[in-house]
Amino acid sequence: MNGVLAFCRPGFEPELAAELTERSAAAGLAGYARTERGSGLVQFVGDDHAALARALPWRALIFARQVLAQLADLPALDPQDRITPLLAALGESSARRCYGQLIVEHSDADAAKPLASLARSLGNALRQVLRKRGWLSASDDATLPRLHVVLIAGDHLLLAEGDPAGSPDWPGGIPRLRMLRDAPSRSALKLEEALQVLLTPAERERWLKPGMRAADLGAAPGGWSWVLARAHLRVTAIDNGPLADTALATGLIEHLRADGFRWQPNTPLDWLVCDMVEQPARVAERMATWFREGWCRRAIFNLKLPMKKRWQETRHCLELFASEAARPLEIRAKQLYHDREEITVYAG
């Protein structure tokens, strides 16, 4: 079964399926989505998996954590010998005979987590066999595609390959970030992840310099302001609620008790960040106002999604933002691992 295999947050399979269907059609490629609610995986089946993988890159997809070119679907395996049919399928499905890395994994769904020990043992055994055949480099080679074995169950796996240049740097597309003791809230992890996923290392170095000025709308208790202050930016935190002492202790955060939907800066700022709990269209319109009026150069903000028609609401809000900003902008959006019923957007 050719096509692409995409990972997502469990429960958001319909949104990812709709996104894959719409984007593949826009690229002139036929296909259909297959998924099971709560699985954390979507298979998009088409005749040309390589073309689909090129047309559906991970970085351009909002609800995908990782996108792979699927080579084979292997159900009803003998638990005593999974490797023999896997090798046969690999020989039939791929013209490639050497991979830079083997990754044996499973989705982030609760039902799949018991497969972790099997993934480790299967990976250790398969790695040796592939190297003996010359199908896997002796050491990780980032110039070669990766071979992915995705466990669905003990007797069911998917075979896929990924391009290191177009794949996330983290297994399964999930950055494992550590919550620091003095972080004002767990929401700090959302901005930490956004900076890693939505910006390249070169962009982070160029756009997050000491002394730059930022505003954080709806800042309390100060998690996002604290992340920016750790990068030595000077932050104006806008919220009628209190900030945590650890945020104020940075010495780089000025707290103003004001309404985030009304406040505006006296001079243009380098950054705007916003994680306000509000209707997504209202947030999108306010963010657009900041760019239209020239109040900021770059922004990262969250859009809280409704329980239904989340893909439609996502498209509507992003189109609204782009239209109301009334200026050319590069827009990148992702549902991050630390997000819940929301997506995170970069614009600049």
Res 166: pLDDT? 84
Task: Give DSSP secondary structure letters for 10-55.
Answer: TT-HHHHHHHHHHHHHHTT---EEEE-TTSSEEEEE-S-HHHHHHH
What confidence tens digit (pLDDT) does each residue in 204-241 have?
Answer: 999 999 999 999 999 999 999 999 999 999 999 999 99
Res 95: pLDDT? 62
Res 93: pLDDT? 66
Q: Phi, psi at residue 83, to the nearest 5°? A: -75, -40
Res 201: pLDDT? 94
Res 96: pLDDT? 63
CA separation, residue 8 to residues 56, 152, 235 (Å): 14, 14, 33
Is 334 part of the annotated catalytic residue set? Answer: no
Contact 135, 98 (CB under 8 A): yes
Res 345: pLDDT? 98
Q: Which one is catalytic: 304, 308, 309, 334?
A: 304
Spans of the chain below 70 pLDDT: 1, 93-96
pTM over 0.75: yes
3-class secondary-structure state, position 273 = strand
Counting beta carbons within 10 angstroms of the beta carbon of residue 207, is it exposed (0 to 12), middle (13 to 18) or buried (19 or more)? Answer: middle
What confidence tens digit (pLDDT) does each residue in 90-125 have?
Answer: 887 666 679 999 999 999 999 999 999 999 999 999
Render the burial of 6-22: b for 16+ CB within 10 Å, e for the rest: bbbbbebbbbbbbbbbe
Res 94: pLDDT? 60
**Domains of the chain in sequence order:** 3-173 (3.30.70.2810), 188-347 (3.40.50.150)
